[in-house]
Structure 1
Amino acid sequence: MTTNQPTPPTAATRVAVVTGGSRGIGRAVCRKLARDGLAIVVNYAHDAAAAEETVAAINAAGGRAIPVQADVADEKAVATLFDRAEQEFGGVDAVVNCAGRLALSPVADLDLAVLDALYRTNVRGAFAVAQQAARRLRPGGSFVGFSTSVVGTQFPAYGAYVAGKSAVESVMLILARELRGRDITVNTVAPGPTATDLFLEGKTPEQIDRLAKAPPLERLGTPEDIAHVVAFLTSPEGHWVNGQVLRANGGLV
C-alpha cells in the first residue's frame, strides 16, 4: 500500500523553510537553526541583498542555505518556495513563518486599505504557508507560527495588528489538531517587545525605554532570544510541545 506522505529524514538532512528570513527575528532564526545543523531556505519578499547577506553568513560558518523570493500571500509563490526546498535539500522538516507586517493606528483613524494590506500578509500569508507546511512536512517535523504578546497586553493603536495575530493563534491551534497522527507539531511564538527594525521604527527613545522596563527582566528582547525559543520548538527535544502559544516576553503581563 502506497501513501503520499513525505518520508522521514535522516539525521543529517533536516531542512527548515523560514519565511521573512532576511532580517530581524527571521534572520536570527535562520542563523540559529543553521548552527544546529539544519539546511535553511531563507525566504524574503523584496530585500534580496539582505537575504543574500543571511545566506552568506550561514554558508561562511559551514552551514547550508539558499535564498528564495516569495510573497507569502501568493499561494503559487509559496508552493514554489517549498518546491525549491525539496529540490535543493530533499524535503522539509521545519517551517517557521516569521514574515509579517506591522501598522499602528487607533481604531477610529485606521485606513482600511492599511488593514487589508496587513491582513494579506499576516492572515492570508499565514494560511498559505500553513497549507504547504501541512502538505509537505515530513514525520517528526514542526511548524512555528508567529503572533504577538500584545494579544494579551492590548496596547492602544495595535488593534489591526492584534486582530490578525489573534486569528493566527486560533488557526495554529486548529492545525495542530488537524495533523493528528502525522507526528508533526504546530506551535505559535508570541514575542513581547523585541529590538528589531520593525519594532523600533517610529518610536521615540522615551517610548522604547518605557517598553524595555515593562517586563520583570527590564529589557527588550533580542532576535536571538526568540530564535532560541524557535530552535527548541523545532528540535527533537521540543517535540512533546504541541498546540501551544508561547509568550516569549520576559514576563510581560
Structure 2
Amino acid sequence: MSFLSRIFRVFGNSRTEGNETIEIPRVGNKEPVCPHCSIALDKMPGRKKKCPSCSEFIFVRTCPEERVKVLVREDQIELIEKKWAIENGAHEQFLAENRDREAIKNQLMSQGIDSPTDLDVKWQQLKASLPKLASEYKWGLYRNARLGMGDVLKKQGKLSEALDTYLEVCFIDLNGPNNCGTKDPEILKMLPPFDPKSAFLAPGVLGYIEKMCKELNVKPEDLGSRFISLSSEVEHQLKLPISAEEAWKELSGELR
C-alpha cells in the first residue's frame, strides 16, 4: 500500500485508513476527578501528582480532539500519544518507534530482565545511538544522547553515575560540538566537529551537578579530580580540542 493511500482522517473517536475504520476511544477526565478511583479533587492538577485518596499517580496530558487538559492513568499515556501522532500525520513513525521499543524489551528479557521498564528501554535506545551519531559526526546529537542517559540514571536514583554523565556532557559542551553530518575535509574546514568558540554550558545541567554534589557530599576539590579523570578519557576517545584541565577551569568558575 502506497503512503498516499494510507493517509487517514480523524473523526472524533475513530480514524479511517484505506477501507478500514479503527476505533480510538477517548480517554482522560476533563474535570478534576482521579482517573483511578474517581474521587473528586480540590482542583485540576497542573502536573503529575499522587491522588490523595488512592495514592496512585495522576498524569496530566492535552487531549488532541478538544485541546484541553485531561487527567489520565500511566497506562493511558500511550493512547494519548498515538492520537497526537495521528493528528500530526506521524502515525507510521509512532508505530515504528513502538516496534523498536518492543524489540528492545524482548532483547532485555532474553538477557534475564523480567520486566524491563520504560527507562531501561530508553537507556538501550540512547546507548545504541551513540556509535552511529559518532560515525556521522553528529556531535551535537551525540551530546544530547549522553544528556538523555544522564537523565535516565537520575530518574533511576543512580546519582553517582548520573553525576559523571552530566560532567561528561559539560566537557563536550565546552568543546563546542557541531552536527557536521559528514567527514568531507573541505566541509570540516568550515564546520569543524568541535569549535570551542561556540561553547555553551546549559544552566539546567549545572544545576543538576550542584544538587547532586550536595546529595552525594562531593567536595569541590574532589569534583575537580573526578571531572579531570573521566574527561581525560573522553578527550582521548573523541579527540577533543580542549583539555580536561582547561575545561575544568571554565566549569569550576561557572559552578562557583
Please, what TM-score do these two structures have when normalized by structure 1?
0.26
- Bigger helix fraction: 2
RCO greater where, 1 or 2, for CA within 8 Å and sep 6 or more?
1
Which structure's CA Rg is the greater one? 2
- Bigger strand fraction: 1
Please, what TM-score do these two structures have when normalized by structure 2?
0.26
